[in-house]
């Protein structure tokens, strides 16, 4: 059990940085012109954002909406 002191905060910062780096790398691979069919849906699954995307964007997953949600939100 770790209290929310400096050590916990650094651990949380590290987790968030690693998640951001991983999402950026995966987005770079899965949103390019040579991306396989269904790559955007897979990216939403990886980012755990399928339901959020459906709520915010009443359209089918597109390159712009997926990047907007996962990078800017």
- Burial group, residue 35, by CB count within 10 angstroms (0-12, 13-18, 19+): middle
In the block, residue with structure tokens 């905060």: 9
Integer-rounded Cα Rg, in Å, for the chain is 15
Q: How many domains does the chain have?
A: 1
Given this model, what pLDDT does residue 14 score? 96
Q: Write out pLDDT tens, residues 24-71.
A: 998 888 888 888 888 989 999 988 899 999 999 988 888 889 989 988
Q: Per the structure block, which two tokens stand in for 61? A: 């997953």
Query: Quick check: is 33 in a domain?
Result: yes
**Helix, strand, or coil (residue 52):** helix
Does the structure show a pLDDT above 60 at 1?
Answer: no
Query: Quick check: is 27 in a domain?
Result: yes
What domain range is 16 assigned to? Answer: 6-72
Does the structure show a pLDDT above 90 at 13?
Answer: yes
Comparing 6 with 52, which gets the higher pLDDT?
A: 52
Query: Quick check: is 39 in a domain?
Result: yes
Does the structure show a pLDDT above 80 at 4?
Answer: no
Query: Quick check: is 1 in a domain?
Result: no
Query: Quick check: is 62 in a domain?
Result: yes
Q: Per the structure block, which two tokens stand in for 13? A: 């910062």
């Amino acid at each position: 059990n770790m209290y929310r002191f400096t050590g916990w905060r650094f651990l949380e910062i590290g987790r968030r940085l690693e998640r951001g780096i991983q999402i950026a790398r995966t987005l770079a691979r899965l949103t390019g012109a040579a991306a396989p069919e269904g790559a955007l849906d897979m990216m939403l699954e990886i980012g755990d954002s399928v339901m959020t995307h459906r709520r915010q964007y009443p359209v089918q997953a597109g390159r712009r909406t997926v990047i907007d949600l996962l990078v800017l939100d």
